[in-house]
Structure 1
């Protein structure tokens, strides 16, 4: 079959044309040339962005350019900036932004003894170790300066201004399940569902949680569990919430109420300030590098100027381990010292305040319902090593007061102690009691042992928490066995070069009658190459764990062996257990995945036990599509058969359209690609755009920089995206932020222009489509554009020696064949 191809373009002119049509002088209106256009048929390689760097123009003209402005990879702003030529120390002039000293400092830069502070354009070329580049093809100006000159507080303030409350949206998360059981000749069908409805408007978040059930006892029963309205209050780093709530106190027992809560939200703090850490102070005799090492790992390194320094913006690795600090001077000398460090809940950084306020009506489904309550607590970092805290809980017939302190004792460990006094006005009596608590945490560096929590709590006989006080039955409680003491311990010991670990967890309850309830759990985890195995032992005694008040134990051994079959990852698991009744249970399991991008998973198991345990088995599968998650399973035993299936997902409605998604977490992003369907999102598992070019990326981090990216290999041929990565997206909690990749959808055309009079049309001549869309003519009589119209007319205007001239041309892409989505057209402009 004979094909009527258009004239074949030689490879070199096409490369040269595209690469040289990126002159910076016209960047504000210049068109973007995707590197994918250089994928010429028959070629196995593609010129990457790195290859294009060699064609950048360094000798740029001073002027005003629209740029995305970065300092040390932190995005400061995007706007038009005046660039001027200024000399460096070597006398070479380079383009720099024209800002005064005050403006530069507002961007988060600290200048030490600056020169020429009155200049309109402060010369940053004089900064030692300063590097910068201006890439007008991507409209980026990036400045790199020594870390010691960065004002971290100012950078954090700049980032706070970029917090994005997102777009207005309505979300519906749903989950429906069916559980069908056949046993002893009878069927038992149970259906369950839950719906979470969310509405976002600016910073406000409305949330509703409802459940539905249908079984023999409840026919089509709906329950409205909770309704809340919340928003962030940035100025005080707090969250305000109204509705059906639970208190989040660390000093008092939590309870349900209807009202309002205002509390510190640590997520709003910079990442390196969210957890407790003592400040690192010292004196540098010259420009120095400070390094902090914890548990043999470098966790922080920063250059500091000569003089006193204080470092607070580091993030400790764990709850324990002293900080080994070295200060390396410019002359090579080194000073070393140790900052003692142990941490535990309740500890705050020096000068830091955390608080929680709650007010409303008690809602505990007992006689206390409707009682007005008020609760407040506050934590304050008194020094680097001492935190004090206090709380109060007030109601008509109940009051409680709490006081305590926490201490970082360095090598000794970290400890907190608090006391709570309660007063309950009962029908026939007034009970006053105290509860005392001590918690301890320590990492033993010599053995690498972590005692994550060792606690003791004592309760007076007359002490009551608010839930017990409001449900108190004096006739029943007079003979009730009350909790007197509580002991807890959690310990972790890595062994064999941290490839294995031993874990121990213990809890013991002592009652006023002398009765005890005990639970001990010990475990060992390890691996041999890819094979993992574990041994667990549990021991319990007391009526809370078994009704006959005898001891019970269980010993488990589990092993998992991964392997690959048919290019798929699979696992074989085997487990065996025995208990105090000398019964043995063995279970074998095989699991794996299937589908594109491993969207589906399956699992098959079979177990057998002796001495009346019997056999059991089953199989299950789940598949995560772009719109929902579906699951099904079947299980059987000697006496019953079970079938279950379900579906879960989310509906999201916005001004840009409706999206179905497999899940919708509290903070998410809406991907927009202007109608391009099937575009894969790198950040999201099994996420791709729908027919409207929309997709949801769930679970992005609130108040943190997020990067969103799309897979350019999945772009349709008629779609072009200048930048497939969006950086520095900072959502507030619960926000749905818009990530618009500014896709251009249409016909990609590269014109080779001819004119009867002019051999070369002027670079920068305006090419205007019929709808007014403007493009610019580039070097070598080339014009590149993306248009939605397969046919049309283009008019080109330019100025020649003060005289305006023009020509026009018609085009029709249907008369041409595309090469990887690019139409190459020869056109006469008349």
Structure 2
């Protein structure tokens, strides 16, 4: 005889999904019959397998689920299941119009969907080949859609319909550097400098205020007591329907045709970061050599963009924002008191556009100074690029105010395997000091990513300007600073002045950037060259060359030889430097370097050893015949901290510290955290109130604070981001039932996701009802947060997790909550050998009966069937 159990109303499988293998017959009429003879149970009549008996059935209700489209997570949200109109005993996921809008359907397919429940839900059955299924075991709603119905997507990039604007919140980000330098001749100097962003998010809008400041020696300087200044107030938002970014307030003109200057007004620009990664531009790089542990400051027109401490030796800054354009000022402050400055002219790739598309940039406002004062008349500018065909793009634009106008037109050509090239010409007309000036400027650009040849970026640019050609920024300088840089009247003409010639007018600009790998030789070459010539002042130029090669010598493997050279010439500075370094690995992660540096004065030869203490801490120590230095970098949960110290015999000693971090406040909580870019995108992870849970994005993990909140800042905008619990570093009394989440955030968004984490001890327990009977086999136990903590085995035995002394847990079977258990205040030393005996107190609705079979709330048919 074979005993079978037939159940008509079910949940989908949970942690005991393996029980589906007990099915004695094939699925028929929506029911699954379990062969209970294979279960080693003392009482086969007291079983509740309702959660596992009906394939695909979800009890009507609302569940928190991760929505997946073609196996790619889209979002985590509440999904409601209702009985469909044609099957009152079944259930179907209600796909709301908002949820369907995130699937990335093409407009024609989305418009043809049928609705049910009065328009509350949409039905995908009208799209052939589409499947929708739910899995409570993994809390996922799986949607399979043919690719022909979907908008364009790429690896790690989602269409705009899936972007997440984040939650409302406040943020404060900072980057601080403090230094104390004692020089034998000048005494002690102290300085504190920093920059950062204060902001608020409301819907799609990002409100931001940038600040920067510097204090020297803790006392007032000639500039007065005020050292902190707010460099910019602005607000921006994404406009996905236009693939654009709208910004109002104080801004810099980011143009592919005209030079950059500061203004107050509004700008609407096509946003490259909203495009798939293979269609985006690149960010500028800053390369140099530090003679000592040094502070590097990158600024533009007085506004600090980047500030950091670097260890002695070559440095390369690659994490500048790709929206930065124009000329950058780089200042290297050495700990021996010397200062090295140079400029970098950032290059833009040829202005090409995909066939049939139009990219544009519009702006209007008044030019302003860093101190927020107006410095010009109202201007307007616009530019576009139109993809005519697969190979050609046409672009152009104009900029004008009452005394200045410039027009530009050009064309770009995709040379396929040979890269891309563009040529444009700009005509300007300006009236300054009662004189009209007119001239042309010609520009040629070339760019190519030679992936097959391991060349990451190659750029070459040339621009020639006639003597009377004025860019907008040159026009503003001429109008307000005159011939010799002395500020004149804004509108009056100075009589007796000779024929006006622009001071420092550009003549020609040459730019080349190359990054090449030679895999057969184990070598990498990076080179850049910038030269700017002028009509009536000396030229400026800078070139960098970095060559590195890996090789083996006998039994010593992975040695490296690197050469870094630079030369910089400006009208008030000339300098060059060279660093030759030989490195060999020591131990598992250490590196010993021997460095010859032509720019180190008394210390041309030095030895350095660098190593990692762990994933969060690294250090470098160095010594030469007359000096010693040390550098320590710590990646903390609340901030990144760098320490540096150095001394030189008879000359100086110094100590420096920098900290970079931020704080984020949302309606769900607050946390201090590391930060990548001030005011940038971030993701708050809620670990259900459990502290010290390690979570990570792409970099090192960070741990949740005392309130169970952590913020991950190493994520990008408009690209699919994963955040996960670091299971290898979980505390012993914590387990994660949901460890991974994915989403795509817009620029500046504060994302929010919760991960199911259970905290508490683990122990065996025996559950008993008031009449000493046991809950049925397969009953579930949950804590007050509705997290699964165990499933009842034979005779009431259950292995519980997440045990908190004195708390309550709820036992459910038959699709309803039945009774509660109160955990003891003193837990056993060994939860596996000393089982807890727990009384399960019936809930009020079930006080009338203690028969488990009667309490199931669902019809159960037990039959004896011949085998």
TM-score w.r.t. structure 1 length? 0.69
For residues 465 and 380 of structure 1, what CA distance do their matches in structure 2 show?
A: 24
| Residue deviations 1:307-342 (CA, integer Å, cap 9, x gap) | xxxxxxxxxxxxxxxxxxxxxxxxxxxxxxxxxxxx
Greater CA deviation, 177-186 or 779-788? 779-788
- Looking at structure 2, the residues matched to 755 and 399 of structure 1 have their Cα atoms a distance apart, in angstroms, of 87
The aligned counterpart of 1:233 is: 239
Q: Does 1:464 align with 2:470?
A: yes
Query: Residue 475 of structure 2 aligns to a residue in which SS?
Result: helix
Give 1:704 shift.
Answer: 2.0
> 2:609 maps to what in 1?
590
Distance 1:31 1:538, change over 3 A: closer
How far residue 207 of structure 1 moved from its aligned partner, in angstroms, is 1.3
Which residue is 1:732 aligned to?
746
Aligned equivalent of 1:351, options 346, 350, 356: 356
Q: Is the 8 A contact 1:405 1:416 kept in 2?
A: yes
Unaligned 5+ segments in structure 2 are: 1-6, 19-48, 85-89, 107-112, 117-122, 283-347, 485-499, 552-556, 842-849, 851-867
Pick aligned residue for 1:563 from 586, 609, 621: 586
Question: Partner of 1:191: helix, strand, or coil?
Answer: strand
Which residue of structure 1 aligns with residue 172 of structure 2? Answer: 172
8 Å CA contact 2:770, 2:839 repeated in 1: no
Backbone CA RMSD of aligned residues: 5.0
Partners of 2:164 and 2:806 lie apart in 1 by 41
Q: Which runs of 5+ in 1 are unaligned?
A: 1-22, 36-54, 85-94, 111-116, 277-342, 547-551, 609-614
Q: Which residue does the alignment assign to 1:572? A: 592
Relative to structure 1, the CA distance from residue 575 to residue 83 in structure 2 (aligned partners, 3 Å threshold; closer, same or farther) is farther
Is the CA contact 2:691–2:707 (under 8 Å) kept in the aligned structure 1? yes
1:536-578 CA distance string (max 9 Å, x none):
44456674653xxxxx7655422222222xx6x2221222244
Residue 361 of structure 1: which of 351, 366, 373 is its match?
A: 366
When normalised by structure 2's length, the TM-score is 0.67
1:429 aligns with 2:435: yes
Secondary structure, in 3 states, of the residue corresponding to 2:702? coil
1:88 aligns to what?
none
Q: What secondary structure, in the 3-state scheme, does the structure 2 residue paired with 1:469 have?
A: helix
Corresponding position: 1:685 with 2:700: yes
**Alpha-carbon shift at residue 108 of structure 1 (Å):** 6.7
Q: 1:819 aligns with which of 831, 848, 855?
A: 831
Compute the displacement of 1:792 (Å).
7.7
Q: Relative to structure 1, is the Cα distance of residues 632 and 421 closer, same or farther in structure 2, using a 3 angstrom cutoff?
A: same
Residue aligning to 2:512: 489
* Greater CA drift, 132-141 or 643-652: 132-141
Contact 1:558–1:574 (8 Å) recurs in 2: yes
Partner of 1:60: 54
1:182-581 aligned at under 5 Å gives the runs 182-183=182-183, 184=185, 186-215=187-216, 216=219, 217=221, 219=225, 221-271=227-277, 274=280, 344-364=349-369, 369-410=375-416, 413-441=419-447, 452-472=458-478, 475-476=483-484, 478=501, 480=503, 482-495=505-518, 497=520, 499-512=522-535, 519-528=542-551, 529-538=557-566, 543=571, 546=574, 554-564=577-587, 569-578=589-598
- Aligned counterparts of 2:265 and 2:391: Cα–Cα separation in 1: 36
Q: Deviations over 1:163-189 (max 9, x none)?
A: 222222222223333322223152222
Rounded to whole Å, the distance in 1 between the matches of 2:635 and 2:646 is: 22
| RCO comparison, higher one (Cα < 8 Å, 6+) | 2
Q: Would you say the 8 A contact 2:603–2:627 is kept in 1?
A: no
Say yes or no: does 1:605 pair with 2:622.
yes
Shift of 1:797: 8.9
Work out whether 1:662 is the aligned partner of 2:674. Answer: yes
Aligned equivalents of 2:607, 2:8: Cα separation in 1: 66
1:805, 1:627 → 2: CA distance? 41
Distance 1:771 1:482 in 2: 69
Structure 2 match to 1:631: 642
Contact 1:449-1:493 at 8 Å conserved across structures: yes
State the distance in 2 between where 1:533 and 1:657 align.
50
Q: Deviations over 1:733-787 (max 9, x none)?
A: 1111112114345566654345697976545779899999999974534467778
Q: How far is 1:387 from its partner?
A: 0.9
Tell me the residue number matched to 2:304.
Answer: none
**Deviations for 1:245-277, whole angstroms, at most 9, x for unmatched residues?**
10100110100011111112222234455579x
Pairing 1:649–2:650 present: no
Asked whether the 8 Å contact 1:27–1:139 carries over to 2, the reply is: no
Task: Look up the match of 2:715.
Answer: 700
Question: How far is the alpha carbon of 1:820 from its aligned partner?
Answer: 7.2
8 Å CA contact 1:388–1:404 kept in 2: the answer is: yes
Name the SS of the counterpart of 1:470 in structure 2.
Answer: helix
Count of residues in Structure 1 that have an aligned counterpart in Structure 2: 682
Deviation at 1:808?
8.2
Q: Distance in 1 between matches of 2:83 and 2:50?
A: 17
CA distance in 2: counterparts of 1:154 and 1:433, whole angstroms = 45
Check conservation: 1:535, 1:557, Cα contact below 8 A: yes
Distance change (3 Å), C-alpha of 1:755 and 1:439? closer
Matched residue of 1:681: which SS?
A: strand
Determine the structure 2 residue equivalent to 1:743.
757
Match of 1:621 among 632, 640, 662: 632
Distance in 1 (CA, whole Å) between partners of 2:789 and 2:542 is: 75
